[in-house]
Amino acid sequence: MGLVPWYMRVAHFVPPDVAHSLARYALSAPSPGPLIDEGLEVELAGLRLPNPIGLAAGYDKDGYLYPAFSRWGMGFYVVGSITAFRRRPLRRPRLYRPRDGLWMLNAFGLPSEGVISVARRLNGLGERPRVPIFASLAGFSLEEFSILIRAADALPQVSAIELNISCPLFDDPAGMEELAELSSSLTRKPSFIKLSPRHSRVLEEAAGIAEGHGLGITVYNTIPVRSGALGAGRGGMSGLPLYGMMLSAVARIRSVSDRVPLMAVGGIFTGSQALAALEAGADAVQSLTAVAFRGPLAFRAMSEELLAAMRERGYSSVSEARASRVSAVLRAPRGPRSATPPRAAIPGPPRGPA
Ligand SMILES: Cc1cc2nc3c(=O)[nH]c(=O)nc-3n(C[C@H](O)[C@H](O)[C@H](O)COP(=O)(O)O)c2cc1C
């Protein structure tokens, strides 16, 4: 596994829940900063981003890490998911990381300090945060979404909103159409509905709803799984198993809508994988599990790899790559390994989709 630096291999001997908590100390180390290159700049739903690779929701749920982690080279930073009221995490273990294989299981259960507390923290960052902040919002009803959207709309630090209706542990809290309608009536900030692989049968419909209400889409959240390795007995799988599903979702959405703003997330560990998602039609990409394997340098490394992969393919800018709209489903994924791990690799009975 050449992608994983030695210190992250050592970190893998620490229980993953503890490693996750220790990460905040590592992030205060000197960082190399972002890779500045005009070719990496993108426009997403009217926002200008310095590069198209962002941190996905879930790493920094309450915004504590932003001051340190935003120096490590991501093009945008998703805080959350933020809930309307304070929620406690589920019982440990909440994370499972295999010794071999680029994937993880998690079951945190959407813990959050609640929107008032997180909004106060984001407000303390000043009017112009270093890296654009996207707020991931998770409501359990339309009323809660309404509280959350109003709060995110009022915060000048929040550039965009992601509506999480795809937590693997909970059923959809609201119809997509109603939520899209609510969101477009409450905010003019770019807003995205984040879908789960369980929405794969309604992707085209979702694209239509999003486009009709001026929203974008993020695909995908984690794959719902059952596993005895998690305290909750079930949770979500992230990492490489999602990569092929995500590419095919991006291509399907782009086949019905050329205009809907689209973010791709799931199993992106390298710049070449990011490029494949952009070529498939994503406007930007996000990554999270890569940080658990490659460490905090993941974003800087992926930006360098993306630039190198773009040059190799003759693109002078990300928009040129996106314009190519080559269906990535027709190509072999250029990931570091095959897209799907053996099912037997999922630890602990019972197994299978939740
Ligand atoms: C530990 C962990 C916590 C997560 N928490 C959230 C969350 O709170 N809200 C959300 O929308 N997605 C959450 N996700 C899903 C990620 O944002 C992302 O969609 C998924 O992990 C696939 O991307 P990746 O393969 O790059 O990790 C979480 C993922 C992980 C691994």
Q: Is residue 1 part of a domain?
A: no
Q: Is residue 353 part of a domain?
A: no
Determine the distance separating the centroid of ligand 1 and the alpha carbon of 162, expressed in angstroms.
Answer: 12
d(CA 319, CA 39) in angstroms, rounded, equals 8
Q: Is residue 354 part of a domain?
A: no
- Residue of 238, 243, 270, 340 to mutate, ligand 1, most atoms within 8 A of C-beta: 238
Full residue range of the structural domain in which residue 159 is found: 6-345
Closest ligand 1 atom to Cα of 164:
11
Determine the distance separating the centroid of ligand 1 and the alpha carbon of 165, expressed in angstroms.
Answer: 12
Q: In this structure, what is the dihedral angle of CA atoms 282, 106, 144, 201, given to the nearest 10 degrees?
A: 50
Q: Is residue 241 part of a domain?
A: yes
Mean pLDDT of the chain: 88
Is there an atom of ligand 1 within 6 Å of 242 CB?
yes
Is there an atom of ligand 1 within 6 Å of 298 CB?
no
d(CA 289, CA 7) in angstroms, rounded, equals 16
Is there an atom of ligand 1 within 6 Å of 193 CB?
no
Is there an atom of ligand 1 within 6 Å of 27 CB?
no
Query: If residue 239 lies in a helix (H) or strand (E), which one and from where to where?
Result: strand 234-239
Determine the distance separating the centroid of ligand 1 and the alpha carbon of 103, expressed in angstroms.
Answer: 12
- Reference 160, options 208, 214, 239; nearest CA is 214
d(CA 261, CA 158) in angstroms, rounded, equals 18
**For the purposes of burial, counting CB atoms within 10 Å of the CB of 230, is it exposed (0-12), middle (13-18) or buried (19 or more)?**
buried
Minimal-distance CA residue to ligand 1 atom 30:
58
5 or 123: which leads in pLDDT: 123
Average pLDDT over residues 235-246: 96
pLDDT tens sequence across 9-66: 777 777 767 776 777 777 877 888 888 999 999 999 999 999 999 999 999 999 999 9
pLDDT at 329: 45
DSSP state of 112: B
Is there an atom of ligand 1 within 6 Å of 164 CB?
yes
Is there an atom of ligand 1 within 6 Å of 268 CB?
yes
d(CA 173, CA 176) in angstroms, rounded, equals 9
**What are the phi and psi torsion angles at 317 (to 5°)?**
-150, 160
**110 Cα distance to chain centroid:** 15
- How many CB atoms are closer than 10 A to CB 25? 9
pLDDT tens sequence across 196-206: 999 999 999 99
Minimal-distance CA residue to ligand 1 atom 28:
58
Minimal-distance CA residue to ligand 1 atom 15:
221
pLDDT tens sequence across 332-345: 444 444 334 433 33
Q: Is residue 20 part of a domain?
A: yes
Domain with 83 in it: what CATH number?
3.20.20.70
Sign of the CA dihedral with 122 first, then 74, 19, and 219 last: positive
Number of folded domains that form the chain: 1
Determine the distance separating the centroid of ligand 1 and the alpha carbon of 33, expressed in angstroms.
Answer: 23
pLDDT at 33: 82
**pLDDT-based confidence at residue 290 (cuts at 50, 70, 90):** very high
Q: Is residue 230 part of a domain?
A: yes
Minimal-distance CA residue to ligand 1 atom 24:
266
Minimal-distance CA residue to ligand 1 atom 19:
221
pTM of the model: 0.91
**What are the phi and psi torsion angles at 112 (to 5°)?**
-160, 150
Average pLDDT over residues 79-97: 94
Is there an atom of ligand 1 within 6 Å of 56 CB?
yes
Q: Is residue 351 part of a domain?
A: no
Q: Is residue 352 part of a domain?
A: no
